[in-house]
Amino acid sequence: MTTYTLGHAEIADTFAEAFPMRFARLVITAATEAWALEAARSMTGFATSVIGCKCEAAIEQPVFPAESPDGRPAIAVLLFAMDREGVGKRVLERVGQSVMTCPTTACFDGLPGAERTVSLGRSLRYFGDGFQASKVIAGQRFWRIPVMEGEFLVCESVGVGRGVGGGNLVVGAGDEDAALGAAVAAVDAMRGEGIALPFPGGIVRSGSKVGSLRSKSLAASTNHQMAPTLRVQVEDTLVPEGVGAMFEIVIDGVSEDAVREAMRRGLHAAAGAGATHVTAANFGGKLGEFHFRLSELRDPP
């Protein structure tokens, strides 16, 4: 495989393969930023991969009170699924279990005016057992669901957009500490508007491949080609000599451009933070319609 260098890092001339997904953006407000964060963390928990969790979700960014829908501290979260129906189901489950249950929160649509929507408050209102009430405020309907604390306010529906899921970078270095440090730097650079990094801390240490070498029933199994401990054991290893640990960063974004620019930021940050090898995961280009070539990310952000 051909490579180019960025600082001290060798960048593989390969590409990340990504897929079209549907997403919703929710804005969770609360009395304090800490409570908004609690709700957002709970809502985006166990949402690392559509394969195992039926959706991918992450905190997008904090929203300042001056810009939040009700003037309180807020956190914006992004949730991705393969289709609109999937987004609707997961949003409803997660807001019901993680946001409505969290003290002082209210939940708003972060994609107002979107062409397609899915029901949220319209369905969740039944939790109010007939005691719920609605208010139309500035043309938007909200549901007031009576709860033990007072009322939970939730928007009638949320917009669904077309996004991109599965962009990725794989960051390697001589040992675990160096590789993790570089990956963390990449994550810090990538986070922001329009980007969700759904894995813990934004980082995956157990990247997977589709299927299994030994079992037909496994949907995914370890990416043995990128496991350093197997470097001399498997013939088709992708771990270069001198690389002792690799971490993957999976990127979902609200657009192809958002993913590409996040990858660019991450690539340059990793290279500047001790990565010695950066590559990307793909499926040979046959599965995903979006290909992000690392060679096209050479120019700094």
Partner 1 sequence: MTLTLTLRSSPPARVLAAPLIPERLRGLNTSEIAAVEVRCGREMVAVGDLFDVAGTADGQLVLAGDLRRFDGIGARMSSGEIVVRGDVGGSAGTEMSGGALRIFGDAGARLGAAYPGARVGMTGGEIMVTGNAGEEAGAGMRRGLVVVAGQSSRGAGLRMLAGTLIALGGIGAEAGLGNKRGTLVSGLAVEPLPVYELATRFHPPALRLQLRRARELGLTVDDALVRGTWARWSGDRTELTRGEILIFDGENGGR
Q: Which is nearer to partner 1, 138 or 232 (CB)?
A: 138
- Which of the residues 94 through 113 are near partner 1 (CB under 8 A)? 104, 106
The minimum distance between CB 31 and partner 1, in angstroms, equals: 4
Binding status of residue 264 toward partner 1 by CB under 8 A:
no
- Residue 208 CA to residue 205 CA, distance in Å, equals 9
Residues 6+ apart with CB under 8 A from 83: 22
Q: Are 166 and 173 in contact (CB under 8 A)?
A: no
Q: Are 53 and 21 in contact (CB under 8 A)?
A: no
CA quadruple 51, 75, 28, 136: dihedral, nearest 10: -120
Judged by CB under 8 A, the residue of 153, 179, 189, 270 near partner 1 is 153
Binding status of residue 65 toward partner 1 by CB under 8 A:
no
Judged by CB under 8 A, the residue of 67, 93, 101, 135 near partner 1 is 135
71: exposed, middle or buried (Cβ count in 10 Å: 0-12, 13-18, 19+) = exposed
Helix (H) or strand (E) holding 268: helix 256-271
3-state DSSP assignment of residue 294: helix
Q: Name the segment binding partner 1 (CB under 8 A); options: 40-48, 87-95, 144-152, 276-284.
A: 144-152
Q: Name the segment binding partner 1 (CB under 8 A); options: 39-47, 66-74, 178-186, 245-253.
A: 66-74
- Which of the residues 269 through 298 are near partner 1 (CB under 8 A)? none
Q: Which is nearer to partner 1, 135 or 298 (CB)?
A: 135
Q: Which stretches of the chain bind partner 1, using CB under 8 A?
A: 31, 69-72, 104, 106, 133, 135-138, 142, 144, 149-153
